[in-house]
Amino acid sequence: MNRNEELMNVKKEDVNRENKSASSTNKGVFIKDIENEESHVEDDLLDGQGDEVREFKRPRISLTKNIPKPNYYILALDGEFKDYAFNEERAPANKGKWRCETFKVNEDRPIDLEIGTGNGSHFQHRAVTHPERCIVGLELKYKPLIQTIRGCVRQKAENARVCRYHAMNLDLLFEKNELNNVYIHFPDPWVSPRKPNNRFVNARVLDWLFELQRPGSTLDFKTDSREYFLWSMEQIRTSKYQIEYETLDLHNSTMREGNFMTQFERIFTRQGVEINFVRLRKP
């Protein structure tokens, strides 16, 4: 079974167009992303094809309230799950208040962040198995966003919230020192078309995250794309983070035990793709 067929099997109804940022294997084979509905991104994030990160242009996404024919997932964001999920307008009101107002927990309670939760399997696993921590998820698309939080609510995990928000704007959601651990699993690699400036794990975002995280926190980055990983490692080596662990083959490394396989990781692994992984730490 080829990768497209695998993806189709996971969620046939979800694969409705080729993601312009197309995930790839290490060998650069083009695949379809699991797509749920248009993500309503109005702008290309950052311009250019070069390897250096150019002038930052904030990405804009359409407002949920302006979507002409909202489906169940779009309606659920401001309806059934409004106490657990924030749209792009409500989300920034949490900045600096995640502990005291949103989660109503003490200042020393850890708050973790997952970027691009997808169907939420890892997010839900963290929320349910770590009730002593809180977790926030960012996701652009409505269906995975709602799937992510719905699973938490059904399992009565009160420590989880999600935002429909563009990850490149995450500095508008969190104050310095507000975050603990960060998870970035299989972000869009932007290898076809090749637009390294749109890659999330870049020097600018690493600078932001470093400021937003509390000392001692970790940042995990996993990807199937060797090209993206090697490019990001160059950015990482110039950042303030300590590299705690780095491997080009996570499943044949000492980090294999304790690794939670995400939805995309399962698909890539079944295809024989090696998973690139790095754990960073803010000293």
Ligand X SMILES: C[S@@+](CC[C@H](N)C(=O)[O-])C[C@H]1O[C@@H](n2cnc3c(N)ncnc32)[C@H](O)[C@@H]1O
> Does 118 interact with ligand X (rule: CB under 6 A)?
yes
Residue of 88, 112, 139, 220 that binds ligand X (CB under 6 A): 139
The residue among 22, 165, 17, 201 whose CA lies nearest residue 89 is 165
Residue type at position 154: R
Backbone angles phi, psi at 148, to 5 degrees: -60, -50
Asked if 161 interacts with ligand X (CB under 6 A), we say no
Least CB distance to ligand X at residue 221 (A): 11
Q: How far is it, in rounded angstroms, from Cα 227 to Cα 179?
A: 28
190 binds ligand X (CB under 6 A): no
Nearer to ligand X, 229 or 264 (CB): 264
Residue number, 103 or 228, with CB nearest to ligand X: 228
Counting contacts by CB under 6 A, is residue 264 touching ligand X?
yes
- Which of 139, 136, 247, 243 lies closest to 182 in space, CA to CA? 136
* Separation of alpha carbons 213 and 222, rounded Å: 19
Residues with a known catalytic role: 188
Q: Binder to ligand X among 26, 192, 202, 262 (CB under 6 A)? A: 262
Residues 86 and 67: their CA atoms lie apart, in Å, by 16
Q: Could you tell me the smallest distance in angstroms from the CB atom of residue 107 to ligand X?
A: 27
Q: Among 74, 77, 138, 191, indicate the residue that binds ligand X (CB under 6 A).
A: 138
Q: What are the residues facing 245 on neighbouring strands? A: 279
- Residues of this chain that bind ligand X (CB under 6 A): 23, 33, 39, 116-118, 138-141, 144, 166-168, 185-188, 262-265
